Amino acid sequence: MDILDTDIKYLPGIGPKRAELLAKEIGVHTYRDMLYYFPFRWIDKSKVYPISDVISSADLENEDSTSAAYVQIRGVISRMEMVGAIKGKAVKGKTRLLAYMQDATGTMELVFFSGLKWITDKLKQGEEYIAFGKPTVFNGKVNLVHPEIYPPSQAVTYGAGSMAGIYSTTEKMKNGGFGIKAITKVESILLEKVSGHIHETLPQHLIESKRLCPLEKALKNIHFPADSQALEEAQRRLKFEELFYLQLSLLKQKNARLSKGSGIMMSKVGENFNLCYQSLPYPLTGAQKRVIKEMREDMRSGKQMNRLLQGDVGSGKTLVAVLLALIAVDNGYQACIMAPTEVLAHQHLASISKFLKATPVTIALLTGSTKAKERKKILGDLENGSLNIIVGTHALIEDRVKFHALGLAIIDEQHRFGVDQRSRLWSKNDDARAESLAPHIMVMTATPIPRTLAMTLYGDLDVSVIDEMPPGRTPVVTSHAWESQRRQVFDFMRSQIDAGRQVFVVYPLIKESEKMDYENLEAGYMRIIEEFKTPQYITAVVHGKMKPEDKAIDMNLFASGRAHILVATSVIEVGVDVPNASVMVIESAERFGLSQLHQLRGRVGRGAAKSYCILMSGYKLSKESRKRLELMCKTTDGFLLAEEDMKMRGPGDLEGTSQSGLAIDLHIASLYRDGRYLDMARRTALEILDNDPLLEKPENKLLEAQLKILRKQGKDIKDYSAIS
């Protein structure tokens, strides 16, 4: 067995109790998991400063000043005294311990306000220590308040002499005695334990051509870099490797899919397509025609279509989906449309049914809330082929759902489904024609994604973009309002309602949070119903913790026009189409990312009336929050906003979640900040696969073996080549 696969509980200093804590809090189960639990930032502990230099560089005139950076000093504790104690006893909140550290150049005060007994037991007068902290000035003297302090013999454990890593921890970890110091100590023990047993994961020719350092050196230097150059060298190796294997995995899967030519042949455009097309109340945009043509070529190529359809809010993706579904039906196959929420699934059913009125095509809805009797009929109709199109949620991938001949699977808001979930749709056919062939796949997203990012998140898919809005969509007027302007906002809402319009009010939270001073839905709902009293005004409420049937009742109240105001959380970010709604009020708008704000704004402006989005915020705004709100007011271009969002957010997902659901887990690389490594990784992967599409040559055996290991370690991943 590989030593890195050893259970973490066997590492000295861990044991079963701490192992359980690490597993629950940060998902660390093995030596490998711990080794790849990287710091998120580093502090320079590579230098020891003479005390005189620290004192001379401080601003002694300004008591509020702090030096620009942390410093490390080394010296002997010459004396210690308790200040504020009464008869030798500490007085809570008043007593402080002063320890004087002296080196050959001078003396500095070390100040401690808490844990005094522990500190006095730990520090011995006349002995040498290393202290690390941020200098401050008090009463004209430079001091270190609560510095990290330890004897030189423990320097390695505390990261002295190097760039010290700062690790993410949780409250439970800290309470369990597993804070940053403990993690640092464990990483030091672990690196010593596995030294000489870390196997290389990249071929030597690749390491040499890309000028990368060996893996073992990179792992040592990511935890304990000697200096900034060593850290940069380690980051370069580890970031490139992660992004390279991510690209290699996605592109290899795409090669395997295309090489098999195992797609369902859909050669004709038939009667149902033409009936729907001819009954449309408005012409398709040029962009809609272009993407339909691209996908039609895929569907009649004999190879399986795997395509991502990107389109801004209101660009007409649903109509494209309907027309593609009708191509499948006209060729004797069924289509399914899978949505991430019941709200969105119901919305799809309503809008698609309108498009199908001119055709005899049958459609039904299947969700977790579908009643048993209705479910039984739907499942029977799906299996015998009398049901042409099914709209649903995750319920569609349950084992009991069987299709007669599934030819096209359309998945909306792709980022909410993993690769494995969509691949489970591929093995549900009963028809002999289709059971050996994979259905065509189209995934849709209304979240504009920069093309460089799309190729990473969806590298196994071809990308189509609807970059043109249908006629009649008027730009939404966006403005920023402070809390002091709430009365004017209420008056404006009332004037719009009195003119026959409806209003969304969206909150970021459901319940009061102790840590966040933001508006929340419960308090906001009470304020709205107090301000807009019944029976003149009706207010509905929708949030993620409601029962589906209660949510449906309130949603229908608003969608049918019987409710004037819908108070909601961002559950309505996707799928709510109420053309009569002309105002979107977003409370605590600073809490949302640009893409999410843009999605919410897209809920209005869907009818002929002029529409408005009002971004409410408190007065304490960070520089980034202020910039986001300004950008929202300046532009309605979703792709421009997505680019800015990517630049501003840094690590993390474009929708505000973690980098999850990828073919390879990313521990250190960022899809957003590491563009140069991403480009280099993709080019390298393409070069290798151009010469060896399935990684069968001897020089690429290590790459294929490593891909299998990484897929096994990853979550929610399935290899297309094993299914196609």
Q: How confident is the model at residue 426 (pLDDT cuts 50, 70, 90)?
A: low
Residue 249, helix vs strand vs coil = helix
Q: What is the pLDDT of residue 273?
A: 95
Higher pLDDT residue, 394 or 143? 143
Q: What is the pLDDT of residue 636?
A: 82
Chain segment 480-491, per-residue pLDDT in tens: 999 899 999 999
Q: Which of 2-11, 282-291, 454-463, 714-723 has the lowest mean pLDDT?
A: 714-723
Tokens standing for 361?
């095509």
| CA dist., res. 671 & res. 653, Å (int) | 8
User: Where does 584-694 have alpha helices with state H?
Assistant: 594-601, 623-634, 638-649, 675-691
Query: Is the predicted pLDDT of residue 59 greater than 70, yes or no?
Result: no
| CA dist., res. 640 & res. 617, Å (int) | 23
Chain segment 577-625, per-residue pLDDT in tens: 788 999 999 998 988 888 788 888 888 887 778 899 999 998 888 888 8
Residue 293, helix vs strand vs coil = helix
Query: Is the predicted pLDDT of residue 449 greater than 80, yes or no?
Result: no
Q: Which of 177-186, 353-362, 444-453 has the lowest mean pLDDT?
A: 444-453
Q: What is the pLDDT of residue 171?
A: 85
List Cβ neighbours of 691 (8 Å cut-off, separation of 6 or more): 697
Q: Tally Cβ neighbours within 10 Å of residue 560.
A: 10
User: Where does 308-417 have alpha helices with state H?
Assistant: 317-330, 342-355, 372-384
Q: Which fold has domain 477-635?
A: Rossmann fold (3.40.50)
* Cβ pair 422, 441 in contact under 8 A: yes
Find the Cα–Cα–Cα–Cα dihedral 573, 575, 580, 586, rounded to 10°.
0
Chain segment 635-689, per-residue pLDDT in tens: 887 777 777 776 665 434 333 333 444 556 678 887 767 778 888 998 899 999 9
Higher pLDDT residue, 610 or 260? 610
* Cβ pair 597, 616 in contact under 8 A: no
Q: What is the pLDDT of residue 422?
A: 56
* Highest averaged pLDDT of the listed ranges 42-56, 176-190, 492-506: 492-506
Q: What is the pLDDT of residue 272?
A: 94
Q: What is the pLDDT of residue 719?
A: 36
Query: Is the predicted pLDDT of residue 551 greater than 70, yes or no?
Result: yes
Give the residue-averaged pLDDT of 50-77.
74
Domain boundaries, the chain: 1-43+164-198, 51-160, 271-301+316-445, 477-635
Q: What is the pLDDT of residue 647?
A: 66
Give the residue-averaged pLDDT of 394-406.
86
Chain segment 476-534, per-residue pLDDT in tens: 999 999 989 999 999 999 999 999 999 999 988 655 454 443 457 788 889 999 999 98
Query: Is the predicted pLDDT of residue 92 greater than 70, yes or no?
Result: no
| CA dist., res. 124 & res. 150, Å (int) | 11
Give the residue-averaged pLDDT of 170-179.
86
User: In terms of C-beta density within 10 A (0-12 exposed, 13-18 middle, 19 or more buried), how is residue 318 classed?
Assistant: buried
Q: What is the pLDDT of residue 531?
A: 92
User: Where does 195-313 have alpha helices with state H?
Assistant: 204-209, 215-223, 228-260, 271-279, 286-299
What CATH number labels 1-43+164-198?
1.10.150
Query: Is the predicted pLDDT of residue 288 greater than 60, yes or no?
Result: yes
Q: Which fold has domain 51-160?
A: OB fold (Dihydrolipoamide Acetyltransferase, E2P) (2.40.50)
Q: Single out the residue of 33, 32, 36 nearest to residue 24, CA to CA.
A: 33
Q: What is the pLDDT of residue 576?
A: 65
* DSSP H or E segment with residue 486: helix 486-498
Query: Is the predicted pLDDT of residue 232 greater than 90, yes or no?
Result: yes
* Cβ pair 300, 265 in contact under 8 A: yes
| CA dist., res. 196 & res. 217, Å (int) | 11
Output the CA angle 676-681-687, nearest 5 degrees: 130
The residue with tokens 């270190």 is 144
What's the Rg (C-alpha) of the chain? 31
pTM: 0.60
**Residue 109: beta bridge partners?**
100, 143
Q: Single out the residue of 587, 716, 637, 722 nearest to residue 315, CA to CA.
A: 637
| CA dist., res. 249 & res. 685, Å (int) | 9
The beta strands (E) that lie in 485-642 are given as 502-506, 539-542, 565-568, 581-586, 612-617
Q: How confident is the model at residue 113 (pLDDT cuts 50, 70, 90)?
A: confident
| CA dist., res. 142 & res. 12, Å (int) | 40
For residue 11, which amino acid is it?
A: L
* Cβ pair 544, 569 in contact under 8 A: yes
User: In terms of C-beta density within 10 A (0-12 exposed, 13-18 middle, 19 or more buried), how is residue 301 classed?
Assistant: middle
Q: What is the pLDDT of residue 389?
A: 96
Q: What is the pLDDT of residue 608?
A: 73
List Cβ neighbours of 671 (8 Å cut-off, separation of 6 or more): 453, 456, 457, 659, 678
State how beta strands 141-145 and 565-568 pair: unpaired
Same fold, 51-160 and 271-301+316-445: no
Report CA torsion sign: 170, 589, 413, 639: negative
Q: What is the pLDDT of residue 536?
A: 92
Report CA torsion sign: 444, 448, 453, 457: negative
Q: How confident is the model at residue 179 (pLDDT cuts 50, 70, 90)?
A: confident
Higher pLDDT residue, 537 or 472? 537
* Highest averaged pLDDT of the listed ranges 152-161, 248-257, 394-403: 394-403
Give the residue-averaged pLDDT of 20-47.
90
Q: Which of 16-20, 675-679, 709-713 has the lowest mean pLDDT?
A: 709-713
Average pLDDT along the chain: 83
* Cβ pair 184, 159 in contact under 8 A: yes
Q: Single out the residue of 198, 208, 183, 177 nearest to residue 17, CA to CA.
A: 177
CATH 3.60.21.10 for the 271-301+316-445 domain, yes or no: no
The residue with tokens 């504009």 is 448
Q: What is the pLDDT of residue 514?
A: 42
